[in-house]
């Protein structure tokens, strides 16, 4: 059986175990060749090769439905469902996304990138199936750390009561991105150690029938287990003990390093591009480790993404109890931070913009209403960062800045960032969020103030007339480039660094009216609900014209950032052209 000829699971449903084992070997080989050249999620997929083959072998997909959680675990699934060329042919590597995508295949049910969602989504499908009187299996494949997310718990809790076919396959690879965290995982460990027989079984406690598969990378065991639960008339959990990174020694030995990787040398596992450029995550980690040493009350929280904030094993060891990884559980990280701040600790939650969305209510209720001095550092809140539709960093301005009480700061360079972060961690008057800029790391060209407690004071970085360009965060350099271009056509633009995204400098804005006819805002996010609209509203009843630049409210997947900038007229020549026309 040749991998390149597999068009759908039907092509291997009649195969023998030996043929399937050979198929797994081919899958791993092709996968590793692509990943070593292209990068992507290595470990999670290697651990699931056999389970994915066995699922499609036993279940009658796509009539039977499999919903994959944290769908970065679906590379093997894609190879088995008509998309193998995207793994064999380098020219087609980018024909598939890194997540399930219904636009690619009927075997993909949802576009999923955030974790902990599959049980809820699959539970809904099972419910609709029952309402409509249909018959098919509904399977949710969860794991790789996502059980710690509240949505996964809520899905399990409700799913247990469906009273009909509902199969939850738990991929227990003993890891999240880094190690797992939380009491739940000790319970899973006890189950693994007891061959599934330990008392106080989390899944049984929620009402599930339970089946343990000790050899979660053994085809025969897997096929046997899936056959047992196929067509079950009640909710059942199949707990697979798998090995993250299996079949590639460097990934087995360095599970965290190989959770996701840039292209690497297949022989050694070394990254192909060893160049190191300055980055905000490392600046953050260095700064926070220094703050921790100076003050035992300082602590850093992450919700399962220590790598995104450069807290690798070494930094975590150095921080000790002052570093808290709550696992994939953003609600907990935010609410716990509020408790820490209330009791005199100085917490900083370092979080990826897209994942912060999961803690909106905690930012509002647990933090803002209680005015606890929690500090958020928001990473990848930029269109220049992650470009998968499920990981966009475009929405956090609207999310954070519109909640009363939050001070949302937008530094434009390292020195401004450090100054803001030091102030934020010392003060106790407000919850403060800091938006890490996107793009290449900039440095200050003038001294930076150290006290940010006089809120909403914008800074004029270049004094001019007729037009004032307010460039927020990442896009202050774009405002300055625009001003440079305008200068060539005789327009002497004012350039402003607003620094605060959560409020208006009404005094400065009022003052601009004397010598300016047009205010331009540029922000690194969607326009709707964002920063520029507040400026537009402020000037609404005056003669001042306002033009807002930012992203249109449309989801984009795997976009080219240069094209996106141009399509939204977010380049200096385009903005300069518009300004020139408006002032004419």
Considering only residues 406 to 465 of the shown chain, the ones binding a second copy according to CB under 8 A are none
Rounded CA-CA distance 367/359 in Å is 11
Phi, psi angles (nearest 5°) of residue 135:
-130, 115
Site residues for a second copy, 96-115, by CB under 8 A, read: 102, 109-114
SS (H, E, C) 70-128: CHHHCHHHHHHCCCCHHHHCHHHHHHCCCCCCCCCCCCCCCCCCCCCCHHHHHHHHHHH
Binders of a second copy among 35-94, rule CB under 8 A?
Answer: 65, 67
CA angle 174, 171, 8 (to 5 degrees): 145
Span near a second copy by CB under 8 A; candidates 259-267, 364-372, 445-453, 506-514: 364-372
Question: In the bound complex, what is the minimum distance in angstroms from residue 50's beta carbon to a second copy?
Answer: 27
- Token pair, residue 115, equals 């974790």
Taking the complex as a whole, the smallest distance from the CB of residue 75 to a second copy amounts, in Å, to 20
Q: Which of residues 302-321 bind a second copy (CB under 8 A)?
A: 321
Return the number of the residue (48 or 399) whose C-beta is nearest a second copy.
399
Q: Are 100 and 73 in contact (CB under 8 A)?
A: no
From candidates 20, 178, 289, 399, binder to a second copy by CB under 8 A: 399
Collapsing DSSP to helix, strand or coil, 44 comes out as helix
Which one of 255-263, 268-276, 352-360, 456-464 is the stretch in contact with a second copy (CB under 8 A)? 352-360
In the list 70, 351, 548, 570, the residue contacting a second copy (rule: CB under 8 A) is: 548
**262-295: b (≥16 Cβ within 10 Å) or e:** eebeeeebeeeeeeeeeebbbbbbebbbebbeee
Kindly write out the interface string for residues 247-286 of this chain, putting x where it contacts a second copy by CB under 8 A and - elsewhere.
----------------------------------------
Report H helices in 395-530: 396-401, 414-426, 476-488, 506-512
Compare residues 269 and 550 and give the one whose CB is closer to a second copy. 550
Residue 135 sits in the site that holds a second copy (CB under 8 A): no
Nearest to 142 by CA among 157, 122, 128: 122
Residue 25 to residue 28: CA distance in whole angstroms? 5
DSSP 282-305: HHHHHHHHHHHHH-TTEEEEESS-
Select 32 or 324, whichever has its Cβ closest to a second copy.
Answer: 324
Q: Tell which positions 144-183 bind a second copy, by CB under 8 A.
A: 148-161, 181-183
User: Is residue 196 a contact point for a second copy (CB under 8 A)?
Assistant: no
Check binding of 340 to a second copy (CB under 8 A): yes
CA dist 276 and 301 (Å) reads 25
Shortest reach from residue 142's CB to a second copy, in Å: 13
Least distance from a second copy to the Cβ atom of residue 535, Å = 8
> Given the complex with a second copy, which of 79 and 121 has the nearer CB atom?
121
Q: Which stretch binds a second copy (CB under 8 A): 116-124, 213-221, 226-234, 253-261?
A: 116-124
Of the residues 529, 567, 569, 577, which one makes contact with a second copy according to CB under 8 A: 529
Query: CA-CA distances (angstroms) from residue 297 to 179, 294, 344?
Result: 24, 9, 7
Give whole-number Cα distances, 363 to 179, 285, 528, 529, 571, in Å: 26, 23, 20, 17, 33
> From the list 245, 327, 385, 437, which residue makes contact with a second copy (rule: CB under 8 A)?
327
Binding status of residue 331 toward a second copy by CB under 8 A: yes
Name which of 123, 188, 114, 175 is nearest 154 in CA terms.
123
Please report whether residue 512 would count as binding a second copy according to CB under 8 A: no
Choice between 34 and 78, CB closer to a second copy? 78
Per CB under 8 A, the list member of 11, 22, 130, 215 interacting with a second copy is 130
Give, in order, the Cα–Cα distances in Å from 446 to each of 278, 338, 362, 449, 463. Answer: 20, 35, 37, 10, 15
| Shortest reach from residue 335's CB to a second copy, in Å | 3
| Binding test (CB under 8 A) with a second copy, winner from 6, 246, 403, 472 | 403
496 phi-psi bin (left φ>0, alpha ψ -120 to 50, beta other) = beta
Binders of a second copy: how many residues, by CB under 8 A? 120
Closest contact distance (angstroms) between CB of 481 and a second copy is 21
One residue of 69, 172, 287, 332 binding a second copy per CB under 8 A: 332
Closest CA to 466 of 486, 498, 488, 492: 492
Site for a second copy in 205-244 (CB under 8 A): 205-208, 235
Assess 342 for contact with a second copy (CB under 8 A).
yes
Angle at 428 between CA 427 and CA 432, to 5 degrees: 75
Rule CB under 8 A: choose which of 85, 221, 365, 571 binds a second copy.
365
CB of 156 to a second copy, least distance (A): 7
């Amino acid at each position: 059986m040749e991998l390149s000829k597999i068009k759908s699971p039907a092509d291997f449903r009649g195969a023998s175990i030996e043929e399937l084992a050979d198929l797994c070997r081919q899958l791993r080989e092709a996968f590793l060749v692509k990943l070593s050249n292209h990068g992507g999620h290595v470990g999670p997929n290697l651990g699931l090769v056999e389970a994915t083959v066995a699922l499609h072998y036993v279940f009658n997909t796509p009539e039977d439905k499999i919903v994959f959680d944290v769908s970065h675990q679906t590379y093997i699934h894609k190879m088995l469902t008509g998309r193998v060329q995207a793994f064999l042919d380098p020219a087609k590597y980018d024909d598939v996304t890194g997540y399930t995508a219904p636009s690619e295949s009927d075997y993909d049910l949802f576009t999923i990138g955030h974790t902990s969602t599959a049980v809820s989504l699959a539970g809904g499908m099972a419910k609709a199936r029952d309402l409509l009187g249909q018959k098919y299996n509904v399977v949710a494949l969860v794991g790789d750390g996502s059980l710690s997310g509240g949505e996964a718990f809520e899905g399990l809790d409700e799913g247990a009561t469906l009273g009909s076919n509902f199969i939850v396959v738990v991929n227990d690879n003993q890891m999240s991105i880094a190690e797992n965290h939380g009491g739940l995982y000790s319970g899973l460990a006890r189950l693994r150690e007891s061959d599934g027989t330990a008392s106080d079984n989390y899944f049984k406690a929620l009402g599930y029938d339970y089946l343990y598969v000790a050899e979660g990378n053994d085809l025969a065991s897997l096929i046997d287990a899936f056959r047992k639960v196929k067509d079950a008339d009640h909710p059942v959990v199949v707990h697979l003990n798998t090995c993250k990174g299996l079949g590639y020694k460097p990934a087995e030995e360095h599970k965290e390093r190989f959770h996701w990787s840039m292209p690497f040398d297949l022989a050694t596992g070394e990254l192909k591009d060893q160049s190191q450029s300055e980055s905000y995550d490392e600046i953050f980690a260095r700064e926070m480790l220094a703050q921790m040493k100076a003050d035992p009350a300082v602590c850093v929280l992450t919700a399962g993404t220590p790598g995104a904030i450069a807290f690798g094993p070494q930094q975590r060891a150095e921080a000790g109890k002052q570093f808290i990884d709550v696992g994939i559980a953003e609600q907990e990280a935010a609410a716990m931070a509020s408790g820490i701040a209330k009791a005199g600790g100085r917490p900083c939650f370092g979080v990826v913009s897209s994942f912060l969305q999961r803690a909106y209510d905690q930012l509002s209720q647990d933090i803002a209403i209680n005015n606890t001095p929690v500090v958020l550092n928001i990473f990848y809140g930029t269109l220049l960062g992650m470009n998968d539709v499920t990981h966009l960093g475009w929405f956090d301005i609207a999310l954070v800045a519109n909640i009363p009480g939050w001070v949302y700061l937008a530094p434009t360079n390292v020195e401004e960032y450090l100054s803001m972060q030091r102030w934020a961690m010392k003060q106790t008057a407000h919850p403060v969020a800091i938006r890490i800029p996107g793009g290449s790391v900039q440095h200050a060209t003038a001294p930076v103030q150290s006290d940010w407690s006089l809120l909403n004071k914008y800074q004029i970085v270049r004094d001019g007339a007729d037009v004032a360009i307010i460039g927020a965060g990442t896009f202050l350099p774009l405002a300055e480039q625009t001003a440079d271009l305008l200068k060539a056509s005789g327009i002497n633009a004012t350039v402003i660094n607003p620094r605060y995204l959560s409020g208006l400098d009404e005094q400065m804005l009022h003052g601009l009216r004397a010598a300016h006819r047009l205010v331009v805002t540029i922000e690194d996010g969607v326009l709707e609900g964002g920063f520029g609209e507040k400026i537009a509203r402020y000037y609404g009843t005056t003669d001042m014209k306002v033009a807002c630049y930012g992203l249109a409210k449309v989801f984009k997947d795997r976009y080219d950032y240069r094209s996106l900038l141009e399509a939204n007229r977010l380049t200096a020549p385009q903005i300069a052209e518009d300004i020139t026309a408006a002032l004419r």
